[in-house]
Amino acid sequence: MSPRSRRVLFGVVAAAVVAAAAAMSAGVFSGGDDSPDGAPTVDTVQVTRSTITAATVVDGEIGFGRPSAVTSKATGTLTWLAPVGSTVKRGQPLLRADNNPVVLLYGGLPFYRVLADGAEGPDVAQLEKNLTALKYTGFEADKTFSASTAAAVKRWQRDLGLPITGTVAPTDVIVAPGPLRVATHTARLGAPAAGDVLTAGPTTRVVTAQVPATAPDLVKKGVKATVTLPDGTPAEATVVGVVAPAEGAPGQTPAEQGQPKVTVELDLTAATEPEPGPVSVRFVTAEHANVLVVPIQALLAVGERGYGVEVRDGTTSRIVPVQTGLFAGGKVEISGDGIAEGVTVGVAQ
């Protein structure tokens, strides 16, 4: 089934209920028995109290987050790049310049100056935090680059095969918030090592899905969803970004151009992450708890725009007007005078 055919448009369910109600009404007012003209049989059910949930299900694709350019400040010639598809973690090289590794450190502040004995600031704190995580200790992890920090840097440089200077320059490292998965190479070996050399993105699995433009509440950050993985396992997810298709994108109809692309980040609890592939994404659009519920076939058309149900009490019955709430899963939320849990109502079969 294509993504387009799987999309659920709001209002369609309500229209279907009206049709069902009309059919039910015909059956009830004809007496509820099978007849030669094909009138439906009327059965009974009890009004129940439960939670009713409406959801939209769309097709999606599991993969990785959108990559962005990785910029190197290294001097010299580009002699090696981390392979496409590989994951680079803290302390590992993303590239080599003149065969010297330029390694990844975690943080949010790009290095912009040479850090040496006596330097102070948040960039020093960031460096010392990374050194500690890499098991280089013997200094106080604060905002001051001390002689002890320089000694730890020398041990780190020795292990990497770098010139042992005891200082760290912007040409030596690349900073990112966490591990990177290499997506593409944008520079060729032999080119200058400075500049955009590759693209990379987060290692977290994400799902992209086309959500109908008629469901704007779904295209907001923080909206929860459930993803059914290729093996049938459910995984909780959260919308973390929305990407609208480019105007006039090739192959898109005007209607499709108005349908934003939602990026859903998986909140995985499994021991292993799922492989890329097709998935289904279920968005909860509304949920009403502790309400009275009946099958939609119990609704009758009453008046021009109203609804009712046939309440049965032994051998007697009466039509009771009701107010409808949420429609979902073949059921409808109702309320009205005399409507309570356990009340018996007629249902068209």
pLDDT digits (tens, 9 = 90+) for 214-271: 666 777 788 888 899 888 888 888 888 877 655 544 555 555 555 566 677 766 555 4
Spatial CB neighbours of 203, under 8 Å, sequence gap ≥ 6: 64, 87, 178, 179, 180, 181
Residue (of 134, 194, 126) closest to 158 by Cα position: 134
Q: What is the C-alpha separation between 279 and 208, in angstroms, rounded? A: 9
- Interatomic CA distance for residues 65 and 276, integer angstroms: 12
The predicted structure's pLDDT at residue 1: 44
Closest CA to 298 of 39, 56, 9, 45: 45
- Please state, in angstroms and rounded to a whole number, the distance separating the CA atoms of residues 28 and 35: 12
What is the rounded radius of gyration, in angstroms, for the C-alpha atoms of the chain? Answer: 31
What structural domains and CATH numbers belong to the chain? 3-54+288-348 (2.40.420.20), 58-64+204-286 (2.40.30.170), 69-195 (1.10.101.10)
> Can you say whether residue 248 is alpha, beta or left, with left for phi > 0 and alpha for psi between -120 and 50 degrees?
left
Q: What is the pTM of this model?
A: 0.65
> CA–CA separation, 194 vs 192, rounded Å?
6
Query: Which amino acid, residue 332?
Result: V
| Interval 280-313: pLDDT, tens | 999 888 899 999 999 999 999 998 889 999 999 9
Provide the pLDDT confidence category of residue 44 given band limits of 50, 70 and 90: very high
